[in-house]
Amino acid sequence: MTAAAHDLLIGVDAGTSVIKAVAYDLSGRQIACASVPNSYTTRADGEASQPLDQTWLNCAKTLRDLGAKVAGLAQRTRALAVTGQGDGTWLVGAGNRPASDAWLWLDARAAGTVRRLQQGPLARARFEATGTGLAACSQGVQIAHMAATMPDVLDRAEVALHCKDWLYLNLTGVRATDPSEASFTYGNFRTRRYDDTVIEALGLSARRGLLPEIVDGTQVLHPLSPEAATATGLLAGTPVCLGFVDIVSTALGAGIHTANAAHASCSIVGSTGMHMRAVRNSDVHLNAEGTGYVIALPLPGMSAQVQSNMAATLNIDWLLHLASDLLAQFGTRLSHSDGMKCIDGWLQPARAGSLLYHPYISDAGERGPFVDPNARAGFIGLTSESRFPDLVRAVVEGLGMAARDCYTSMGLPMPKELRLTGGATRSRALRGVLGAAVGAPTRISMREEAGAAGAAMMAAIALGVYPDMEACIAQWVTPLLGEVETADQDLTHRYTRLFPVYRNAREALAPTWAQTAQLMHPAQTMQHVEPLTPALTNVEYGTLR
């Protein structure tokens, strides 16, 4: 086989509920995509777990399914790159076998440990290094919780990985993690290395041996093992790239950074909402509250400054479920896809800003830009004249207000352009509301699988297909950005006046949320009854997966 036959790159994006494998040609054109569902288990105590072996089997099947769609895939593949859901804890023991089921980013069992760690003398120093608020979803917090409550699990573990790291281990036999997750969990985003003070602040100095080597996938590749070749249908020796975490891989593929894009931003509007700015490390702003993430980008000296809503389109899903349940009583079926097609029509007759909605529909509350596990969704301003389209518009406007809340809290200039990705952004009317709420023109990415593309782009750099990431972005990303859609100025002014009301209302509601939670679920909320000071409130439960 000649080198010229190596005309494809494969990107794998391992999400919480689905794993996708996508084939691209070297210019970034998507050739084919395969996906396999990935399941997880939740329990009343806050557990959210996933079997490691099943996740690997699902990944391997996804690659075999891709091979069935692309003729000669194994021979044509120049490299394979993998990204996946971030945070969480994937413990591996002797013989590279799982030491336990994975604790996912959704897992809430370590929430109490966050409070204890935030009260430590090195709490602020840890935040100054990582740029990232402590979280119940964070691996460092989860391992600290395990050390206090189930040390036997850690005793049989030899290395602590993340989801993509576990898949990389199965693909190559190499125990490693990437600079993005290593630095926002245990290190310094400026150096992209582990930091002794951070590890001490987490109380994990004695467990430092669990931390794997850090591998930058834009510089280092490892060969596909013979065992993995048999499982996936690819050729042994195929170069494998360990991508950065899915959040920044998706943002990279969707256009968070392009040439001449000062003050651009990227929002991923999926089940959760991720709001990001690409900034030079020297321009990162660390807020006093200690919230958010700073995540290294696969660009020298650059990071993504991130704030994240726990629920974005989950709010729309809830509203569509209400409509579907009601219609079912009359023998009519409304599918989710049909409901989404109606969004634009429902938005039109409703009066902008007639209702106020806080989109905290997640059972885990909110995590960005404030953190409150008791936060709950609610409408303000309902009257007897309010109709279903008014509720739909209020929910969509709530997503816009939440996005503005996140961007405002970053301490950076507001976005000059909002790049959007995620299924909900197919709605032009929804994009118009988001743009007006943030006060910026919008552009959507036509890239269907941005996370897999971002990982594949890293492999392209490592292979020398492109001289640097800027050149790769110019061919893979920029041409797929849609036309600029200018925000309606009257709507922008209305939302500008509405935002302080939204912000004041959510601050005023916090005591009510706490009191309601105590009345409804006293056993589960006892640890959250006493209000936390701002610097101690970042009990996060996860991110977009």
Among the residues of 349-449, which ranges form H helices?
Answer: 388-409, 428-438
Q: What is the pLDDT of residues 26-58, one digit of tens each?
A: 999 999 999 999 888 988 888 889 999 999 999
Instruction: Give residues with Cβ within 8 angstroms of 272, minimum separation 6.
Output: 308, 309, 310, 311, 312, 314, 542, 543, 544, 545
Predicted confidence at residue 390, as pLDDT, reads 93
Predicted confidence at residue 545, as pLDDT, reads 42
23: helix, coil or strand? strand
Whether domain 267-526 has CATH 3.30.420.40: the reply is: yes
Residues 147-152, mean pLDDT to the nearest whole number: 95
420: helix, coil or strand? strand
Cα end-to-end distance, the chain, whole Å: 38
Predicted confidence at residue 521, as pLDDT, reads 67
SS3 readout for 507-545: HHHHHHHHHHHHHHCHHHHHHHCCCCCHHHCCCECCCCC
In DSSP terms, 273 is beta-bridged to 269, 309
Q: What is the pLDDT of residues 225-246, one digit of tens each?
A: 999 999 999 999 999 999 999 9
User: In the structure, what pLDDT confidence band is assigned to residue 2 with cuts at 50, 70 and 90?
Assistant: very low
Closest CA to 370 of 356, 382, 358, 388: 358
The winner for highest mean pLDDT among 328-337, 464-473, 523-532 is 464-473
Residues 50-70, mean pLDDT to the nearest whole number: 97
Distances from the Cα of 96 to the Cα of 170, 222, 255, 280, angstroms:
8, 17, 37, 37
Among the residues of 188-289, which ranges form H helices?
Answer: 196-201, 226-232, 246-254
Predicted confidence at residue 95, as pLDDT, reads 96
Q: What is the pLDDT of residues 373-414, one digit of tens each?
A: 788 999 999 999 999 999 999 999 999 999 999 999 888 888
**Spatial distance between the Cα atoms of 469 and 217, rounded to a whole number of angstroms:** 12
**Spatial distance between the Cα atoms of 292 and 130, rounded to a whole number of angstroms:** 10
Q: What is the pLDDT of residues 475-484, one digit of tens each?
A: 999 999 989 9
Contact 397, 437 (CB under 8 A): yes
**Spatial distance between the Cα atoms of 237 and 172, rounded to a whole number of angstroms:** 9
Residue 375 is classified by DSSP as -
Predicted confidence at residue 374, as pLDDT, reads 82
**Spatial distance between the Cα atoms of 182 and 179, rounded to a whole number of angstroms:** 5
SS3 readout for 490-510: HHHHHHHHHHHHHHHHHHHHH
In what helix (H) or strand (E) does residue 296 lie, and over which residues does it extend? strand 293-296
**Spatial distance between the Cα atoms of 14 and 35, rounded to a whole number of angstroms:** 10
The domain spans of the chain are 3-247, 267-526
**Fold match flag (3-247 vs 267-526):** yes
CATH architecture of 3-247: 2-Layer Sandwich (3.30)
Q: What is the pLDDT of residues 509-541, one digit of tens each?
A: 999 998 988 887 665 443 433 333 333 333 332
The residue to which tokens 């100054």 are assigned: 128
Peptide bond preceding 500 in cis form (omega within 30 of 0): no
pLDDT at 130 over 70: yes
Query: What does pLDDT average to over the chain?
Result: 89
Q: Looking at per-residue confidence, does 448 or 179 come out higher?
A: 179
**How large a percentage of the chain has pLDDT more than 70?**
94
Torsion of CA 378, 383, 387, 393, to 10 degrees: -50
> Would the pTM of this model clear 0.85, i.e. be above it?
yes
Predicted confidence at residue 537, as pLDDT, reads 32
DSSP class per residue in 153-174: HHHT-SEEE-HHHHHHHHHHS-
Q: What is the pLDDT of residues 72-116, one digit of tens each?
A: 999 999 999 999 998 999 999 999 999 999 999 888 888 888 888
Q: What is the pLDDT of residues 258-307, one digit of tens each?
A: 877 666 789 988 888 899 999 999 999 898 888 889 999 999 999 999 99
**What does R_g of the chain's alpha carbons equal in angstroms?**
23
pLDDT at 434 over 80: yes
